[in-house]
A and B are shown apart, each in its own frame.
Chain A
Amino acid sequence: MPMRSFLDFEKPIAELEGKIEELRHLTDAGDINIAEEVGKLQVKVDRLLRQTYGKLTAWQKVQVARHPERPHFQDVVRILVEDYMPLAGDRAFAEDRAIQGGIGRLRGRSVIVMGTEKGADTGERVKHNFGMAKPEGYRKARRLMELADRFRLPVITFVDTPGAYPGVDAEQRGQAEAIARAIEACLKLRVPLVACIVGEGGSGGAIALAAGDKVLMLEHAIYSVISPEGCASILWRSADHAQDAAEALKLTAQDLLRLGVADEIVPEPLGGAHRDPKAALDALGERIEWALQQLVGQDGGTLKARRRSKFLEMGKKGLS
Chain B
Amino acid sequence: MNWLTNFVRPKIRALVRKAEVPENLWHKCPSCGQMLFHRDLEANLYVCQHCGHHMRLQAKRRLAMLFDGGVSTTIELPKAAVDPLRFRDRQRYGERLKEAQEKTGNADAILVAHGTIGGHAVVAAVFDFEFMGGSMGMAVGEALVAAAQLAVLQQAALIAVPSSGGARMQEGILSLMQMPRTVLAVEDVKEAGLPYIVILTDPTTGGVTASFAMLGDIAIAEPGAVVGFAGARVIAETIREQLPDGFQRAEYLLDHGMVDMVVPRHKLRETLARLLDLLRRPGPTAEVLSLPRSDAAAAASRADGARSGQD
Interchain nearest-CB distance for A195 vs B (Å): 11
C-alpha gap A40/B81 in the complex (Å):
52
C-alpha gap A164/B231 in the complex (Å):
12
A184 touches B173 (CB 8 A): no
Interface residue B234 (Cβ < 8 Å from any Cβ of A): yes
A168 touches B256 (CB 8 A): no
Map CB proximity to B onto A213-229 as digits: 1 under 8 Å, 0 otherwise: 00000000001111000
Residue from A174, A245, A315 in contact with B214 in the complex, judged by beta carbons closer than 8 Å: A174
Residue from A167, A314, A316 in contact with B235 in the complex, judged by beta carbons closer than 8 Å: A167
Residue from B85, B209, B214, B231 in contact with A248 in the complex, judged by beta carbons closer than 8 Å: B85
Interface residue A261 (Cβ < 8 Å from any Cβ of B): yes
A314 touches B181 (CB 8 A): yes
List, in ascending order, chain B residues with CB within 8 A of A320's CB. Answer: 84, 86
In the complex, residue of chain A having the shortest beta-carbon distance to the beta carbon of B177: A314
C-alpha gap A231/B85 in the complex (Å):
15
Map CB proximity to B onto A280-320 as digits: 1 under 8 Å, 0 otherwise: 00000000000000000000000000001001101110011
List, in ascending order, chain B residues with CB within 8 A of A224's CB. Answer: 172-173, 176
Interface residues of B in 274-311 (CB under 8 A from A): none
Map CB proximity to B onto A237-268 as digits: 1 under 8 Å, 0 otherwise: 10001001100111100011001010000000
List, in ascending order, chain A residues with CB within 8 A of B209's CB. Answer: 176, 180
C-alpha gap A256/B212 in the complex (Å):
24
A176 touches B84 (CB 8 A): no
Residue from B227, B229, B243 in contact with A170 in the complex, judged by beta carbons closer than 8 Å: B229
Interface residue A203 (Cβ < 8 Å from any Cβ of B): yes
A166 touches B89 (CB 8 A): no
Interface residue A24 (Cβ < 8 Å from any Cβ of B): no
In the complex, residue of chain B having the shortest beta-carbon distance to the beta carbon of A256: B173
A251-B89 contact, Cβ under 8 Å, with A176-B214, A180-B215, A184-B183: no
List, in ascending order, chain B residues with CB within 8 A of A203's CB. Answer: 167, 176, 207
List, in ascending order, chain B residues with CB within 8 A of A312's CB. Answer: 145, 181, 184
B90 touches A207 (CB 8 A): no
Interchain nearest-CB distance for B164 vs A (Å): 12
C-alpha gap A173/B253 in the complex (Å):
9
Question: What residues of chain A have their CB less than 8 Å away from a CB belonging to chain B?
Answer: 164, 166-168, 170-177, 179-181, 183-184, 186-188, 203-204, 206-208, 211, 223-226, 230-231, 234-237, 241, 244-245, 248-251, 255-256, 259, 261, 308, 311-312, 314-316, 319-320
Question: What residues of chain B have their CB less than 8 Å away from a CB belonging to chain A?
Answer: 80-81, 84-90, 138, 141, 145, 167, 169-177, 179-181, 183-184, 187, 206-207, 209-215, 227-231, 234-235, 238-239, 241, 243-244, 247-248, 256-258
Pairs across A and B, CB under 8 Å, 27 listed: A166-B230, A166-B234, A168-B235, A171-B228, A171-B229, A171-B230, A172-B256, A173-B256, A175-B228, A176-B228, A177-B215, A181-B215, A183-B211, A187-B184, A187-B187, A207-B176, A223-B173, A225-B175, A249-B173, A251-B173, A259-B173, A311-B177, A312-B181, A315-B174, A315-B177, A319-B81, A320-B86
